[in-house]
Amino acid sequence: MKGQRDLLLVIGLFGTLILFIALGPSRSQPADAPDAPTSYAAGRGGAYAFFNWVAQMEYDARRLEYRAFELSSDDDMLVMLNPSEPVTRDEAREVITWIEDGGILILADDTPAFMGPPNALLDELEVDIRVYSTTATIARSAPLQPALDRPAVAEAEVRAGRMVVPRVHSYAAILGEPDAAVLIGMQRGRGYAYISSSVYPFTNAGLRNPENARVVLNLLRRVPYGGRIVFDEYHHGRVAPPSSTGLLFSSPWGWAAAYAGAAVAFYLGMSGRRFGRPVPLREETTRRSSAEYVESVADLLQRGSKRAFVQQHYREQFKRRLGRRYAISAQLDDETFVRDLARAIPINETDLRALLWRLAQPPPGDSTPRAVEPAAGAYAAHYEARPQP
């Protein structure tokens, strides 16, 4: 039996580990990693330099995070770099409507299609991102049109393994090869959209190249001086403010703690250990009545032949009740006690002496009725209730 239990325990632990690996946080680069293309990341692949540079040029640089994904007419440009969360159809249509009203979009996405999240914005823009070649990449690219002339760009470092393939004819190829565009631009209503198959020119490492910096400056020409440029952090996972629940279920450390807790609970359950003190039955916690207590004590006294003890105790209590109000000691002999009590209040001394005498007699057998104790109690209560002279 013990061997079978140990086998089930090992199988359960391995099963929990498999579920943890399968359903836990993916091994993909988290949004807070130093090389993730976010405006917070300071690594080579981050975009902190882009955000900081825009702010230093006195644009109104902001982050779209921890709120609903909405764009207003005050937002002049939206920058989306490798979204790590799916862009839904409703969010894509929100962006398209905003562009047609005059907004400027920079969308750079070089995530492999089978590894990246769905991006409905590419479909709404009627653009596909495809692999350029299985054996080669586009390392550098000269402008394909004289659109990058303020300032002039000689040759940008793009490091692109993918290319932009529009499904429409109304677009302008800006960077890339003659048969493979890396950066294109297209007019949508009163706005404009830039789509890039390489995120490298916008990263911290890419902006170190002066030619890449000039490319970005040409794209920023459409934004008025002091205009608002919004960096999309919403699709990098910053949907809700950080919380303990999010830390537990969305981070590797949180999942590790959850796995450890589940493994310990499974082990304790399989080993038959209690998780707390046993809960007593209702019959064990029900409080007994006072009448049951009195009956139990009376039965014990009767079985122990303590009738004389009880009678003596009752006699002393009777004298104490009578003398307490008039400061007469119950330890006095009966004659002195009756005489002192008669001086304090008018009483029938003969009846009181007879009653005390009867209480001092040996107790009768079980078959003999006793009426002295009730009479003594009524006698004491009568004199206690009388007003004190």
Query: Is this model's pTM higher than 0.85 or not?
Result: no
Q: Which residues contact 3 (CB under 8 A, 6 or more apart)?
A: none
Report the pLDDT value the prediction gives residue 177, as an integer from 0 to 100.
93
Q: Which residues contact 265 (CB under 8 A, 6 or more apart)?
A: none
Q: Which residues contact 74 (CB under 8 A, 6 or more apart)?
A: 228
Mind giving me the DSSP string for 34-81?
Answer: TTSSSTT--STT--HHHHHHHHHTT-EEEEE-SS-----TTEEEEEEE
pLDDT in tens, 66-85: 899 999 999 999 999 999 99
pLDDT in tens, 4-51: 666 676 777 677 666 666 555 544 445 567 889 999 999 999 999 999
Does residue 307 have a pLDDT over 70?
A: yes
- Contact present, 59 and 228 (Cβ < 8 Å): yes
Percent of the chain, pLDDT > 90?
45
- Contact present, 36 and 29 (Cβ < 8 Å): yes
Q: Which of 364, 358, 388 is nearest to 376 (CA)?
A: 358
Average pLDDT over residues 282-291: 76
Report the pLDDT value the prediction gives residue 54, as an integer from 0 to 100.
96
Structure tokens of 55? 């702010």
Average pLDDT over residues 370-377: 56
Look at the alpha carbons of 168, 169, 172, 175 in this order and tell me if their dihedral is positive or negative: positive
Cβ neighbours around 366 below 10 Å, total = 7
More confident residue, 284 or 152: 152
Q: Which of 100, 110, 86 is nearest to 186 (CA)?
A: 100
pLDDT in tens, 82-131: 999 999 999 999 999 999 999 999 999 998 877 678 899 999 999 999 99
Does residue 371 have a pLDDT over 60?
A: no
Report the pLDDT value the prediction gives residue 29, as an integer from 0 to 100.
45
Report the pLDDT value the prediction gives residue 224, as an integer from 0 to 100.
95
pLDDT in tens, 111-123: 887 767 889 999 9
More confident residue, 149 or 271: 149
Please give the mean pLDDT across all residues of the chain.
83
Burial level of 54, CB count in 10 A (0-12/13-18/19+)?
buried
| Longest CA span, the chain | 138
More confident residue, 91 or 323: 91
Average pLDDT over residues 244-260: 66
CA distance 141 to 153: 10
Q: Grade residue 64 by pLDDT with cuts at 50, 70 and 90.
A: very high
CA distance 61 to 47: 13
Q: Which of 181, 248, 183, 194 is nearest to 221 (CA)?
A: 194
| Lowest-pLDDT range of 137-146, 153-162, 319-328 | 319-328
